[in-house]
């Protein structure tokens, strides 16, 4: 049996009420709110978070492949899944690929992963889909988009939803696009896209799949397919296909609370369906973008045995409303801003980062074999990597120690207003890890007023610095999210 | 440890520039002015200097940074870089060379030209991999204040008031010092109402960021009185560099500085001091932030652990108190040109011991202690120097 063995998701903590857009620009506000990636988040960091959620209780070394689906890769040239593989503690002989440039890259990657498993190239493949698409300020699309990520683990063991079959349609139309130099998405007239593409392609893919496997609309407990830019027209296609509204995972819920999540949209809807799925349920999934891909799954008894995840439901509930639209402009780096009169940071050294890639991206520290003290040093002038134990003086007598999945307690903190920060103050915490080890970290996703000694925190993968087009990914602490 | 520097070398001349935002002075001005004053004070000329040690962390690049402006003629010059303890370390190395019998007349000079950077505060604390948390020096020391308040159950108001009194005292002393950067008198209320820099530290909890230079002429103890009748003898020179375990292991409490305590203990042993609170007449300590001075009073055993507030409230460290601290205004008001600060502290102790401190003169001092703390509380390098008649 081949299929989904685990799922996970990530939704940024910060949300903005769409009234804020109308307040800034005048005009119409779409009801509801949207998710906004924080200044230290991008499609890579969100995908790592979703993947960590998905891998909860699963040994990372059992994963044979990692696919990163996005239309907002931070790089035109450089593999993001290679970065992610280190953050996720995957093996060196893992197959990594980025599937980019298409709104249905999430379902495309899902198809690739299933094919690799069928072809026995891999036993277990992790698929992540993540997007932080941007529209030019003042337009309605700026309100309708949202940031988020979803992850699925595909494999043969402990399958929670067996894949029955899939069907694809390719279709040429420039519905939305970004050129090599575009920051913001461009779109053709929505009515034409709806009439000539979405309302034809989506039914074609879904009907094609159903006839291929001999199933009827009534056979599906849950139906998940990408909405068009005008979400209201999702329902019309569903009813034309013969689905009852009760069968639908209604994208309006995600749209109203988070926005359109790009390549992560259909997989996020699938995750929300899996959270509530019962053994025996058949689920239909279809992703849309220059064609469509449809998949059919049948949920197994194992779905009830999967450990608890934050996935969609918990992440959705855990949120912080943004105070104003200016923060959105600042965090997404849409407008140039006054620079703090503080020294410029030095350049990234590719050599130094490469040397310490395991410690930096994977947050691997050491545990002294003699005195058993877990240790990590992220601020030393010359002490990284640790070669001499800070407690007993043992030299190079250590085991690897994973700090990335540990929780910790704030030992002391400051709110630094002199330090340059995209969302001042710069909250910095000295934290004691639950099983030993102390470190100094930036604190992210925090309300400064709520930070105190004794607060519980966890680690989160973030973008901490950008230099000459290179992103420095590293870890920060955050108050335990939910 | 077998040796001791006690009474083997003496300071016979000292100089110090005015500290401040010296927009029209460069590093060479600071070096030449401080050295000229020190040479004149010792009754020697620059050409008499046989070797020199320079302390600076931002403005110096090798020994030539000092030989060049002073036109020292082919003598050895060593550039010492040891964070805020650079000045004291220059004095330490200069003193050891004299005590070893290699040279008779040497120069230790500290200098820093910070205000050419076009920004507030000191350069950042980034490391090579940019993984250091985005905190400034005020931020790093603020964490110590947070922890001190937490450990001793001080409300933010009580804790900040305790710290405010430290700054008020230093500003009062600094107001009488013509060379000090900041010479305004403060009130506790004004300190408490100042803008926050890094919670819980406000503007007046932070020392001045200044340009400046300071210099000492050091010679053999047995030759000292040839230069002047009142040489000041070195009693102890200790430096303690951190193994940086405070940031790594959970046993460090962040309400004291282990390196400060140990440097103090080593200096007291070297100087033969049994009861520092009684025997030390005055101290210039590293008050980069008000909390640093508070904790240092405990590390140096001037106050009992957790009890510095009682001594602050009692006025113990005021100019007229039992143990005056920062008689010249300290880093807080004299200013903090990093490499120059250690020798600036010795300059004040030297003037006080010789009875030349003017309005700030402490009655009949015998022993003075100077303390510098480099880097940050989780990984400091601390120097303690003791001088006396």
Predicted confidence at residue A474, as pLDDT, reads 97
- A41 with A148, same domain? yes
Q: Do B139 and A421 touch (CB under 8 A)?
A: no
Domain ranges, residue A320: 3-331
Q: List chain B residues with CB under 8 Å of A381.
A: 127
What is the structure's pLDDT at B118? 85
- The predicted pLDDT at position B1 comes to 61
Say what the pLDDT of residue B329 is.
98
In a domain, B4, yes or no: no
Per the annotation, the verdict on B375 as an active-site residue is no
- Is residue A341 in a domain? no
Asked if residue A159 belongs to a domain, the reply is yes
Shared domain for A183 and A137, answered yes or no, is: yes
Whichever domain contains A89, its CATH number is 3.40.47.10
pLDDT per position as a tens digit, A202-228:
999 999 999 999 999 999 999 999 999
DSSP 8-state secondary structure symbol assigned to residue A435 = T
Cα distance between residue A413 and residue B262, in whole Å: 26
Share of chain A above pLDDT 90, in %: 94
User: A356 and A318 in one domain?
Assistant: no
Predicted local distance difference test score (pLDDT) of residue A338: 86
Provide CB contacts within 8 A for A323, sequence distance 6+: none
- Chain A residue numbers with beta carbons less than 8 Å from the beta carbon of B250 are 411, 432, 436-438
**Residue A44 banded pLDDT, cuts 50, 70, 90:** very high
Q: Is the pLDDT of residue A380 over 80?
A: no
Residues A368 and A235 in one domain: no
Best B119, B135, B200, B375 member to test A by mutation, with max A CBs in 10 Å, is B135
Q: State the pLDDT at residue A26.
A: 95
Rounded to the nearest 10 degrees, how much is the dihedral formed by the CA atoms of A218, A219, A222, A227? -60
**Within a domain: residue B206?**
no
Q: Is A365 found in the same domain as A322? A: no
Structure tokens at B160: 């900040």
Number of domains in chain B: 1
**Whether residue B80 has pLDDT greater than 70:** yes
Task: Determine which one of B79, B171, B286, B336 is catalytic.
Answer: B336
Q: Residue B124's pLDDT is what?
A: 65
Q: Residue B280 domain-assigned?
A: no
Q: Average pLDDT for residues B33-42, to the nearest whole number? A: 98
pLDDT score of B244: 86
Query: Do residue A296 and residue A218 come from a single domain?
Result: yes
Burial class (CB within 10 angstroms; exposed 0-12, middle 13-18, buried 19+) of A380: middle
In chain B, where do the E strands start and end?
A: 9-16, 51-55, 77-80, 105-112, 196-199, 201-202, 212-220, 232-241, 282-284, 367-376, 379-388
- The CA distance from A347 to A479, in Å, is 30
The answer on pLDDT for B92 being more than 90 is: yes
B272 touches chain A (CB under 8 A): no
Verify that A170 and A237 share a domain, yes or no: yes
Identify whether B84 is a catalytic site residue: yes
B27 part of a folded domain: yes
Q: Which residue has the tokens 């790009």?
A: A262
Q: pLDDT digit string (tens) for A255-265? A: 999 999 999 99
Kindly report, residue by residue over B198-213, the tens digit of the pLDDT: 999 999 999 999 999 9
Q: Which of B9, B58, B10, B53 is nearest to B35 (CA)?
A: B53
Ramachandran bin of B329, using left for φ above 0, alpha for ψ from -120 to 50, beta for the remaining angles:
left
- Is B103 a domain residue? yes
Q: What is the pLDDT of residue B224?
A: 98
Look-up of token digits 């949920």: A299
In DSSP notation, A257-312 reads HT-B-GGGHHHHHHHHHHHT--TT-EEEEEEESSEEEEEEEEE-GGGGTSPP--TT
Helices (H), A332-448: 350-355, 357-362
- Whether A9 shows a pLDDT value over 90: the answer reads yes
Predicted confidence band of residue B63 (pLDDT cuts 50, 70, 90): very high
Whether B313 maps to a domain, the answer reads no
* Segment among A236-245, A420-429, B125-134, B307-316 with least mean pLDDT: B125-134
In a domain, A466, yes or no: yes
State whether residue B153 sits within 8 Å of chain A by CB. no
Its domain, for residue B93, covers 9-112
A427 found inside a domain: yes
Distance from CA of B341 to the nearest CA of A (A): 22
Same structural domain for residues A190 and A115? yes
Chain B contact probe: residue of A379, A406, A468 with most B CBs at under 10 A: A379
Residue B125's pLDDT is 65
Mean pLDDT of B170-197: 98
Boundary (domain end) residue, out of A276, A297, A331: A331
Pair A314, A401 in one domain: no
Query: Count of domains in chain A?
Result: 2
Answer for the pair B20, B211: CB distance below 8 angstroms, yes or no: yes
A354 and A247 within one domain = no
In which element (H, E) is residue A373 found?
none
Residue B58 belongs to a domain: yes
Q: Residues A212, A322: one domain?
A: yes
Domain presence at residue A374: yes
The reply to whether B30 falls in a domain is yes
Q: Which residues of A touch B374 (CB under 8 A)?
A: none
Q: Where residue B37 sits, what CATH number does that domain have?
A: 3.40.47.10
Strand partners, A118: none
Closest to B80 (Cα-Cα) out of B386, B379, B381: B381
**Cβ atoms of B151 and B253 closer than 8 Å:** yes
Give pLDDT, residue A382: 66
- Tell me what the mean pLDDT of segment B232-245 comes to: 95
Q: Quick check: A373 pLDDT over 80?
A: yes
Whether residues A251 and A291 share a domain: the answer is: yes
Q: How far is residue A364's CA from residue B307's CA, in Å, rounded to a whole number?
A: 41
Q: What pLDDT is attached to residue B88?
A: 98
């Amino acid at each position: 049996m081949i299929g989904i063995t685990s799922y996970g998701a990530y939704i940024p903590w910060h949300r903005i009420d769409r009234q804020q857009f109308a307040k800034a620009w005048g005009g119409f506000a779409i009801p509801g709110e949207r998710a906004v990636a924080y200044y230290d988040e991008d499609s890579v960091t969100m995908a790592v978070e979703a993947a960590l959620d998905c891998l909860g209780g699963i040994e990372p070394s059992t994963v044979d492949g990692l696919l990163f689906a996005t239309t907002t890769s931070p790089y035109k040239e450089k593999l993001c899944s290679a970065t992610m593989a280190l953050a996720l503690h995957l093996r060196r002989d893992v197959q990594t690929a980025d599937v980019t440039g298409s709104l249905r890259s999430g379902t495309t990657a899902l198809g690739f992963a299933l094919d690799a498993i069928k072809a026995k190239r891999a036993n277990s493949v992790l698929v992540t889909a993540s997007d932080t698409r941007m529209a030019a300020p003042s337009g309605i699309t700026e309100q309708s988009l949202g940031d988020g990520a979803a992850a699925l683990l595909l494999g043969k063991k402990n399958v929670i939803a067996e894949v029955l079959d899939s069907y694809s349609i390719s279709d040429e139309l420039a519905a939305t696009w970004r050129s090599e130099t575009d920051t913001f998405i461009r779109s053709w007239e929505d009515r034409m896209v709806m009439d000539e593409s979405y309302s034809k392609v989506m039914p074609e893919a879904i009907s094609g799949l159903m006839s291929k496997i001999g199933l009827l609309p009534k056979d599906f407990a849950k139906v998940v397919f990408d909405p068009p830019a005008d979400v209201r027209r999702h329902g019309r296609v569903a009813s034309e296909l013969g689905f009852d509204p009760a069968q639908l995972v209604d994208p309006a819920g995600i749209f109203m609370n988070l926005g359109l999540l790009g390549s992560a949209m259909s997989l996020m809807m699938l995750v929300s369906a899996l959270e509530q799925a019962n053994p025996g349920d058949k689920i239909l999934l279809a992703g849309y973008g220059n064609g469509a891909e449809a998949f059919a799954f049948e949920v197994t008894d194992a779905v009830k045995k999967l450990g608890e995840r934050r996935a969609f439901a918990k992440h959705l509930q855990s949120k912080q409303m943004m105070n104003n639209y200016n923060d959105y402009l600042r965090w997404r780096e849409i407008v140039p801003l006054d620079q703090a009169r503080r020294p410029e940071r030095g350049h990234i050294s590719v050599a130094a980062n490469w040397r310490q890639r395991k410690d930096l991206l994977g947050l691997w520290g050491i545990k002294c074999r003699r005195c058993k003290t877990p240790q990590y040093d992220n601020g030393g002038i010359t002490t990284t990597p640790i070669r001499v134990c800070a407690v007993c003086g043992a030299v190079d007598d250590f085991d690897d120690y994973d700090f990335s999945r540990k929780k910790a307690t704030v030992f002391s903190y400051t709110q630094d207003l002199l330090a340059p920060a995209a969302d001042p103050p710069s909250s910095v915490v000295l934290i004691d890890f639950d099983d030993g080890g102390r470190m100094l970290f930036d604190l992210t996703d925090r309300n400064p007023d709520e930070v105190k000694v004794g607060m519980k925190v966890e680690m989160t993968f973030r973008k901490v610095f950008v230099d000459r087009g290179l992103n420095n990914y590293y870890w920060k602490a955050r108050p335990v999210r939910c | 440890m077998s040796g001791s520097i006690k009474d083997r070398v003496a300071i016979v001349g000292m100089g110090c520039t005015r500290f401040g935002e010296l927009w029209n002075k460069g590093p060479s001005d600071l070096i030449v002015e401080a050295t000229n004053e020190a040479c004149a004070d010792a009754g020697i000329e620059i050409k008499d200097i046989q070797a020199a040690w320079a302390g600076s962390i931002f403005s110096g690049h090798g020994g030539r940074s000092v030989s060049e402006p002073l036109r020292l003629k082919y003598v050895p010059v060593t550039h010492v870089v040891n964070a805020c303890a650079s000045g004291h370390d220059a004095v330490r190395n200069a003193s050891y060379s004299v005590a070893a019998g290699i040279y008779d007349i040497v120069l230790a000079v500290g200098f820093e030209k910070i205000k050419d950077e076009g920004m507030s505060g000191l350069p950042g604390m980034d490391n090579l991999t940019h993984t250091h948390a985005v905190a400034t020096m005020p931020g790093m020391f603020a964490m110590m204040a947070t922890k001190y308040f937490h450990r001793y159950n001080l409300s933010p108001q009580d804790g900040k008031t305790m710290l405010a009194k430290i700054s008020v005292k230093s500003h009062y002393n600094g107001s009488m010092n013509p060379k000090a950067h900041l010479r305004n008198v403060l009130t506790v209320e004004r300190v408490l109402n100042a803008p926050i820099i890094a919670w819980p530290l406000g503007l007046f909890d932070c020392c001045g960021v200044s340009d400046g230079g300071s210099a000492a002429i050091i010679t053999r103890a047995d030759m000292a009185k040839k230069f002047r009748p009142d040489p000041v003898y070195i009693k102890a020179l200790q430096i303690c560099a951190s193994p940086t375990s405070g940031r790594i292991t959970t046993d460090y409490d962040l309400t004291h500085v282990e390196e400060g305590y140990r440097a103090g203990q080593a200096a007291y042993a070297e100087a033969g001091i049994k009861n520092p609170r009684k025997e030390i007449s005055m101290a210039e300590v590293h008050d980069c932030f008000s909390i640093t001075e508070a904790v240092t009073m405990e590390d140096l055993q001037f106050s009992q652990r957790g009890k510095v507030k009682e001594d602050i409230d009692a006025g113990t460290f005021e100019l007229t108190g039992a143990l005056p601290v920062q008689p010249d205004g300290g880093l807080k008001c004299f200013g903090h040109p990093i490499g120059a600060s250690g020798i600036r502290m010795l300059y004040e102790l030297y003037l006080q011991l010789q009875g030349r401190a003017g309005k700030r003169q402490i009655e009949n001092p015998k022993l003075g202690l100077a303390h510098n703390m480099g880097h940050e509380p989780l990984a400091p390098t601390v120097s303690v120097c003791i001088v006396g008649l």
